[in-house]
Chains A and B, each alone.
Chain A
Amino acid sequence: MNSLSRRKFLKITGATVGAAAVITGSGKALFKGADKVNKKIVKGIKKIPTYCDVCFWKCGAIAYVKDGKLWKIEGNPKDPLSKGRLCPRGTGGVSAHYDPERLNSPLIRKKERGEEKWVAVTWGEALDYIAKKMNKIKEKYGPESMALFSHGVGGTFLKHTIKAFGSRNITAPSFAQCRGPRETGFELTFGDVVGSPERTDIKNSKCLVLIGSHLGENMHNTQVQEFAEAVEKGTSIIVVDPRFSVAASKAKYYLPIKPGTDIALLLAWMNVIVKEKLYDIDYVNKYGFGFEQFAAEISQYTPEWAYPETGIEPELIRTTAREMALYKPATLVHPGRHTTWYGDDTQRSRAIALLNALMGSWGRKGGFYLPYNYSVPKYKYPPYPKPEHEPVDNPNHKYPFAEGELLSTGIREATITGKPYPIKGWMVYATNLTQSLPNREETIKAIQNLDLLVVVDIIPSEIAGWADVVLPEVTYLERYDELNTASFRQSFISLRQPVVDAPGDQKPNWWIAKQLAERLGLEKYYPWKDIEEYLDTRLKGAGLSLNELKKKGVVTGPKEPIYFDEGIEPEFYTPSGKIEFYSLQLAEAGFDPVPKYKRPEQPPPGYFRLLFGRAPVHTFSKTQSYPLLHHQMEENVLWVNTDVAKRFGLKNGEYIKLKNTDGVISNKIKVYATERIRTDCVFMVHGFGQTSKQLKSTYLRGASDSQLITRYNTDPIMGGTGMNVNFVTFEWEV
């Protein structure tokens, strides 16, 4: 019933590209000297193409090495994602290489977990230790009891090793704490996910609706570039946010919504659009399923009904609904990305999907285009052993529509309870779990149940502080990684390659994964000698070669139709084969077939809802120590409405602490009294107030939203963790 799958979709696009593997570009060497970088110092400037890893957008870049030293990094003009310009984090990424606080050698824990006391060991010792422990876990509990948390492309080979080992318990906080509900909501509606990079045609939209999505602070490069293009073209922008975001300052309409009430607004918008017959009638008739029931259901949600919930004046709701309709189908209601807000997020995402359906924007110019990815055959490995158990994260399909990725919090839960079967080993690659999973205490509790915690990181991060074994990886500027063949407007393939040597005894993930596999007796899964051989084999399969990619960095496929209007046959991989205004799947599983609004819990008197988001110069909790980015923003501040600040006697710039309703007290944070936020919430940038003592530049700088997120609402449909449900008050003893 819920076996919807984007795999079908990918197969189709993959086939299209595979059939027409025409490669643009002359094949002439654009960049010289990509091979031997600084084994010995080469005088002069070398330009080496690669792709960025400061976030997961994977922009094509060109690194400049001057007299053997890494100088700067710029966008690769040939890259469709960066179009020659990186975001501030990408530009400042060079300082990841220079970060004085990097890990230098493998470490084995010497004292209690979390005390951050280590002995430095050799790679051989560290890997032997891990292999021994993993084998013990396998013997005692089975291979599935070893879980992998891995975020980003760098984890490719560790995933491979873990699968070869016999476990499928592989996850990341980028699903159940991020995009999960959106993907489920859209899949339930259109039969396909939004994906990453988002298939949003921002630059061609004539009306852009941003619900929370704080583009410009959220610096996903292509999105921001297209957003600016839209601003320049005079696109009508509608921003819905309790905080006057940067995007709000570019908007024609700013809707200062009461946090957590977006579904009410969405329903009222749809009510107006349906009642006034402003929707794309042909499109809905042709592709819609269950529209009648849907229309009947939403007829009750008038703007007047939504007003007391959302705080948005009925007239403004009507005006903005009509504004959207005016530009349809080039009206893009952005699906957001970090959508795990209140636990009703799948339904909110579905409401967003439905509003887009009314606008007819799916598959249309200025709405959601149909992306392509470059078809590169997979490396042929022996089949993985069949796991005896299902993944541990979602026992009995408690969350029936959790699909595509595993629930990180589900694996954590199983680690604590030992049910449905015990999890005794965690390998953590490039994800800072104490910062990214809600309720840090639970994470620590789970860790205390483990027989083995391995953390692969580049700096002594918070999570590394809890590890039994810490493995220092080289940065993205010093290694090869898996190819990037993400689906986008145009298919492309890009390569990450080393730009400079690592400064110490750090190793790349592929090497670590291969070495570990060999120690686990899984060498047959690593038939290749090194990653260059691996990459070259894959690329040869696509009619390319590693050498070519090393010179070009990016190869693009042909331009192909991306809209229905360009001749693509609309297909919706839902059970009905149509856009599901009314979802029988949901109804059968006991959920609302048309989204309903439920008022969120309100803050107790004197408390404020804690909201959080991004700052342009940092990625989550990972860049705070990179010198160039550190100096741009050394700590976060607490956004408080000026009237609230006055009422509570908070002075701009003074340090205070926050206390949440569970009595957790934060680290000190500076007050930023501003007119840019509602009076019922406060806001801070995520990723600060870190507790790793070894990261001196970030240690307790600013406050940690994660620490205060002791509560979360789990989305009953797909298991995402809504984290905007914590309330805080001010504490003065600093």
Chain B
Amino acid sequence: MLELTTTRHNELIDPFFHAWGWEIPVYLFLGGLVAGMMIISGYFLFSGRYKETDCSCYYLPRLSFIFLSLGMLALFLDLEHKQYVWRLYTTFRVTSPMSWGSWILILVYPVLIANMLLRLPETTKQKIPLLKKISDKMNSSHNLIRNIGVINMFLGAMLGMYTGILLSSLGARPLWSTSILWLLFLMSGLSGAAAFVHLIAKNVYERELLAKADNGFLIIELFVIMLMIIGLVVSTQVHKEAAMLLLSGRYAAVFWVFVIFIGILIPLLLQLLAVNHKIHHTPLAPILVITGGIILRFVIVYAGEYSHWFIVK
């Protein structure tokens, strides 16, 4: 047995590393949700469904805009040296996912705005005639709409992946150092967004479609989680111990109960029954999926922070 003692006593670091509070998980969740929503609404634009007047692609960009801004606010709240936040945009660091992320976010906004401009609310149109003119002009080009759809999907995917890569680039935390985290967060973002649209969709067809899609995303997500854990378990001792934090350790209860059962398995079951018309669609399933998505971010961030390399000779 190796006894390790240390005299270090730094805040956020000891007795175990915990630099990020609620802000970063919330930021990652909202980022993922927006990513999913951008992909969905982009897909609807691309596939021409925007022609239907109750398509969710009308309001998704607006909601995305709000969620993304809330996410950015959470990120900002987490910064310890806020007065220097502008430093993010005086440089671009190729090696830093956080730098990539801040620039991706800069690109996401215009793309979201472009999407928003396609379907302006009537009141806005009346108040600001210039916007109406722009909007009408944009709507006159089917190609432009399709391209806006494509670029929304593309940047959405970038954003979704980035939320995972941000963590997995931090190799010091074994739980995160898995090359599959981007896929997990992307899938979780998609399933969360699908659930969200499912929850608020006015169009029955759309709701069905998204429930089905959500089921697909959830199954993939489950599969990715499995791959991730297998990957960790067969890697070094340190990585195995990190996986154990989720499977049987400090974070196992939350992981199994909230992420796996409540966040994936139960809504999957409910939605399978619903799409097969065994039961009515309930808002419960999407709510569970969204809750699971939030908790997944918390679990991965906190357990990841807790996972560590043992300093042995």
Contacts and interface: CB of A to CB of B under 8 A. Distances in A.
Contacts of B3: 674-675
Contacts of B5: 672
A631 B9 contact: yes
Nearest to A637: B5
A632 interface: yes
Contacts of A672: 5
B312 interface: no
B9 A675 contact: no
B1 A675 contact: yes
B7 interface: yes
Interface string A626-651: 00000111000000001000000000
A632 B1 contact: no
Interface in B43-94: none
A159 to B, nearest CB: 39
A490 B285 CA distance: 85
A672 B5 CA distance: 10
Interface string A663-684: 0000000001011000000000
A64 to B, nearest CB: 25
Interface in A668-717: 672, 674-675
Contact of B7 (A632, A642, A674, A675): A632
Interface string B1-44: 10101010100000000000000000000000000000000000
Nearest to A634: B9
A631 B7 CA distance: 9
A672 B7 CA distance: 14
A352 B1 CA distance: 36
Interface in A449-469: none
A141 B7 CA distance: 53
A672 B9 CA distance: 17
A629 to B, nearest CB: 12
A633 B5 CA distance: 13
The binding surface of chain B is classed by DSSP as: loop
Nearest to B15: A653
Q: A interface, by DSSP: helix, strand, loop or mixed?
A: loop
A642 B9 CA distance: 24
Contacts of A675: 1, 3
Give the size range of B's interface with the partner. Answer: under 10
A119 to B, nearest CB: 39
Nearest to A633: B7
A642 B1 CA distance: 11
Q: Which of B3, B5, B7, B9 has the most CB of A within 10 A?
A: B3
A216 to B, nearest CB: 15
Contacts of A631: 9
A13 B245 CA distance: 69
A669 to B, nearest CB: 16
A467 to B, nearest CB: 34
Contacts of A642: 1
A129 B189 CA distance: 79
Interface string A609-631: 00000000000000000000001
Contacts of A633: 7
B15 to A, nearest CB: 9
A631 B9 CA distance: 8
B196 to A, nearest CB: 44
Nearest to A653: B15
A89 to B, nearest CB: 15
Contacts of B9: 631
A674 B4 CA distance: 10
Contacts of A632: 7
A642 B7 CA distance: 21
A694 B42 CA distance: 68
Interface in B146-186: none
A371 to B, nearest CB: 35
A642 B2 CA distance: 12
A633 B9 CA distance: 10
A210 B9 CA distance: 32
Interface in B104-146: none
B10 to A, nearest CB: 11
A434 to B, nearest CB: 29
Contacts of A674: 3
Nearest to A674: B3
B212 to A, nearest CB: 51
Nearest to B5: A672
Nearest to A676: B3
A133 B7 CA distance: 48
Nearest to B9: A631
Nearest to B3: A674
A603 to B, nearest CB: 25
Nearest to A642: B1
A636 to B, nearest CB: 14
Contacts of B1: 642, 675
A537 to B, nearest CB: 47
Contacts of B7: 632-633
A674 B7 CA distance: 16
A332 to B, nearest CB: 31
A674 B5 CA distance: 11
A83 to B, nearest CB: 25
A642 B3 CA distance: 10
B2 to A, nearest CB: 10
B96 to A, nearest CB: 33
A280 B5 CA distance: 44
A38 to B, nearest CB: 32
A309 B135 CA distance: 97
B127 to A, nearest CB: 60
Interface in A388-435: none
Nearest to A675: B3
B14 to A, nearest CB: 12
A20 to B, nearest CB: 47
A674 B1 CA distance: 10
Interface string A164-192: 00000000000000000000000000000
B37 to A, nearest CB: 46
A672 to B, nearest CB: 8
A384 to B, nearest CB: 49
A632 B8 CA distance: 8
A301 to B, nearest CB: 37
A531 to B, nearest CB: 39
A175 B152 CA distance: 83
A614 to B, nearest CB: 16
B65 to A, nearest CB: 47
A633 B7 CA distance: 8
A254 to B, nearest CB: 17
B11 to A, nearest CB: 12
Interface in A580-634: 631-633
Nearest to A617: B7
Interface string B232-271: 0000000000000000000000000000000000000000
Closest 4 CB pairs of A and B: A674-B3, A632-B7, A675-B3, A631-B9
8 contacts: A631-B9, A632-B7, A633-B7, A642-B1, A672-B5, A674-B3, A675-B1, A675-B3
Interface of B: 1, 3, 5, 7, 9
Given A633-B7, A675-B1, A675-B3, 4 more contacts: A631-B9, A642-B1, A672-B5, A674-B3
